[in-house]
Amino acid sequence: MSSSSSEVEENETEPTPFVTPVVKDDEGRKISRTMRRIDKLQDLTEFYYAMVPTVPHGKGVFLYRGKRVDGERTPADYGMEDGYQIDFFLELKPSSFITMKMQDPDLCIFTRTMRRTDRLKDCLDYYYTMVPNPTQVIILHHGRRVSEFKTPMELEMMGDEDWLELSSVLPPRPIVA
């Protein structure tokens, strides 16, 4: 019996062979389908076209984390988990892009145009390559800390009115008794 209980423990640490990605299009529709992690994402894109007959088959672009989805690749190739979102755009319109403005702790302003579906981490990477010996920073939007893995679309950022503040990560203060 002890050998079967160790087998159960081993199986609990292994990821499930299935994943349920979500396709969200520019009309706000969300289409999901459970598939094997080793299935080609072409199956998911075909499913989307079948479910949304108003979209001409083969038109548009599927993006995952701001990059075009290769239908020959699998969810495992992209490291996808349940609920991970793939964005679909019938057309890449100018509104698909946003010009991010960031202000760092030294009050320097950095500007970078990016896709609304790109992660904010891309802005941080850009900042770190531009500034010699930068201090580690966190991202603030409207005074609230946001994850570098969020996108402008998820934060409902619209453009020129939206700024990111790059704030220094301060070491913890010593406790004074």
pLDDT tens-place string over residues 151-175: 888 888 876 567 888 888 755 555 5
Nearest Cα residue to 100 out of 85, 121, 86: 121
Q: What does the alpha-carbon distance between residue 160 and residue 158 come to, in Å, rounded to a whole number? A: 7
What is the pLDDT confidence band of residue 44, given thresholds at 50, 70 and 90? very high
CA distances from 164 to 18, 95, 122, 126 (A): 37, 19, 13, 13
Tell me if residue 111 falls in helix, strand or coil. strand
- pLDDT tens, 113-133? 887 888 888 888 888 888 877
pTM for this entry: 0.53
Residue 42, pLDDT above cutoff 90: yes
Instruction: Give me the architecture of the 95-168 domain, per CATH.
Output: Roll (3.10)
Q: Which of 31-40, 52-61, 74-83, 135-144 has the lowest mean pLDDT?
A: 135-144
Average pLDDT of the residues in 22-48: 93
CB-facing half-sphere around the CA of 81: CA atoms within 13 A: 1
What pLDDT does residue 70 have? 93
Instruction: Indicate the average pLDDT of the chain.
Output: 82
CB atoms within 10 A of CB 95: 11
Report domain extents, the chain: 2-89, 95-168
Q: What does the alpha-carbon distance between residue 121 and residue 160 come to, in Å, rounded to a whole number? A: 19
What is the pLDDT confidence band of residue 142, given thresholds at 50, 70 and 90? confident
What is the pLDDT confidence band of residue 8, given thresholds at 50, 70 and 90? very low
% of the chain with per-residue pLDDT over 70:
82
What's the topology of domain 2-89?
Ubiquitin-like (UB roll) (3.10.20)
Helix (H) or strand (E) holding 98: strand 97-103
